[in-house]
Amino acid sequence: FLDDHSPQAWTHLVDELLASPHYGERWGKHWLDAVRYADSSGYETDFYYKDAWRYRDYVVKSFNEDKPYDRFVQEQVAGDELWPDDLALDGTFLIPTEKLEHLEAHVGTGVYTLGPQVHESNMDGKKLNYESLTDAADLTGAVFMGITMGCARCHNHKFDPITQRDYYSLQ
């Protein structure tokens, strides 16, 4: 860059940086932090999510391909519902473009499976289900809506935008 004295030097540098696969890695990590991505569940038992890398790679690829933000959000919140088609293959390793696109949307919904878990809660199905729904609602509020909603789990506040009824409807 320093040796390029042409008027397009800055443009060439920006284009080079945007074309680098490291672009998605660098900016994707900010998104992964926001959605509390980890390869394991945390806490004392800290079990390993063996397929978590699929979601991480989905995020990096989305940034590198400059996926529109609205599509990126739709895929994570409801990709399996928006594109529920059969993703079965025809016996080859070739994946048709449309199926690959929809498979990526399904991988995007992995955002709701990678949160921290208290392993002891897994012994009580109702509690585990409630904690999973709570985590999904809190993640959706914080990451996609930019608000925290924890108070609404227990009570209404006079001026909060989310009521307790809204919170449990989201769950």
Q: What is the pLDDT of residues 114-168, one digit of tens each?
A: 877 777 767 788 888 888 888 889 999 999 988 888 888 888 888 888 889 999 9
CA proximity to 104, closest of 65, 136, 75, 134: 75
Q: What is the pLDDT of residues 45-62, one digit of tens each?
A: 777 788 889 999 999 999
**CB-side neighbour CA atoms (13 Å) of 93:** 0
Report how far residue 92's alpha carbon sits from residue 2's, in angstroms, rounded to the nearest whole number: 49
Q: What is the pTM of this model?
A: 0.78
